[in-house]
Chains A and B, each alone.
Chain A
Amino acid sequence: LTQNVLKSYLETCAQRTEELQRRRWETFSSQEVCAYQRQSMAEMWQRCAGRLTEAIQQVVEFAKRLQGFMDLCQHDQIVLLKAGALEVVLVGMCRAFNADNRTVFFEGKYGGTELFRALGRAGDSGRGRGQAEGTASDEELLPGCHDLISSIFDFAQSLCALHCSDSEVAFLCALVLLNASRPWLQEQAKVAVLQGHLEVAFRLLLRRTQREELLARLPPAGRLRALCSQHLEQLQAFHRLHPGLLPAAFPPLYRELF
């Protein structure tokens, strides 16, 4: 099972850990950051929704390879993915996060929270304004978005501090996905059996690698749930600002899930 979890994870990762590590100091230039910040809020939301959807497609492929997942009824496969896909992406983000300068790998380079500033307010283009620094707070159209981005970065930073191996990240992702306490499951007992097997295998791995202290240091599951709720709240707030945009502009899978 341990081999299956690791193999499934590595086969469905867009980037190898070594590659992400090797490139961890390749950051966006200030001009490139400004170009991101000058985008309109809608453009940046569509861009991030696109990247997030790609990551979620990889989570679906990961799930399909996990032992026992495809034996569940399809209703439950959908329930688990709908509830867990974003959480898995957020856990996996620690592999693509440089905790030393608080940047994340996004569209080919590493960038900090400032890269995503346009998500929370309109870009600077066409407004005759200069740098974003010192922008008045009345222009912060989605102020909660900055909190969401900071919270996601904080979460990645706290996971990075645990220095998880690929096997450990793979198990954390598998356990986020195969969670028998998700509401609306039809065959909860079947999911609970798979979850139980995963927990035993994870504990055995941690014992073998003398990393048993990891379990006590993991962030509480409520923190991931809170991030997902924050994302939904911001998406709804964005939708209220751009009522006509959502159906056409976002990837179909993103619309289905959120």
Chain B
Amino acid sequence: LQEKHRILHKLLQNGNS
């Protein structure tokens, strides 16, 4: 799923607010 959703994956990785 992460492979298919790279942008979402990246947004989730960016800064764990």
Binding site for B on A (CB under 8 A): 57, 60-61, 64-65, 70, 74-75, 77-79, 81-82, 184, 252-253, 256-257
A81 touches B8 (CB 8 A): yes
A64 touches B8 (CB 8 A): no
In the assembled complex, which residues on chain B have CB atoms less than 8 Å from the CB atom of A60?
8, 11-12
Name the residue among A75, A77, A79, A184 with the largest chain B CB count within 10 angstroms: A77
B8 touches A256 (CB 8 A): yes
Which residues 1-17 of B sit at the A interface, judged by CB distance below 8 A?
A: 1-2, 4-9, 11-12, 15-17
> In the complex, what residue of chain A is closest to B12 when comparing beta carbons?
A77
Binding site for A on B (CB under 8 A): 1-2, 4-9, 11-12, 15-17
Tell me the minimal C-beta distance from B9 to chain A in angstroms.
7
Given contacts A74-B2, A78-B2, A79-B1, is CB(A64)–CB(B12) below 8 Å? Answer: yes
Given contacts A60-B11, A64-B12, A77-B12, is CB(A82)–CB(B17) below 8 Å? Answer: no
**9 additional contacts, CB 8 Å, given A74-B12, A75-B1?**
A60-B11, A61-B17, A70-B16, A78-B1, A78-B12, A79-B1, A82-B8, A253-B7, A253-B8
DSSP class of A's interface residues: helix, strand, loop or mixed? helix
> In the complex, what residue of chain B is closest to A60 when comparing beta carbons?
B11
3 pairs of A and B residues whose beta carbons are closest in the complex: A253-B7, A64-B17, A60-B11
B7 touches A252 (CB 8 A): yes
Given contacts A57-B11, A60-B11, is CB(A256)–CB(B16) below 8 Å? Answer: no
Tell me the minimal C-beta distance from B8 to chain A in angstroms.
5
In the assembled complex, which residues on chain A have CB atoms less than 8 Å from the CB atom of B1?
75, 78-79, 184
Tell me the minimal C-beta distance from A54 to chain B in angstroms.
12
Q: Which of A78, A79, A257 contacts B9 (CB 8 A)?
A: A78
> Considering the chains assembled together, what is the distance between the CA atoms of A253 and B1 in angstroms?
14
A78 touches B17 (CB 8 A): no
> Considering the chains assembled together, what is the distance between the CA atoms of A184 and B8 in angstroms?
17
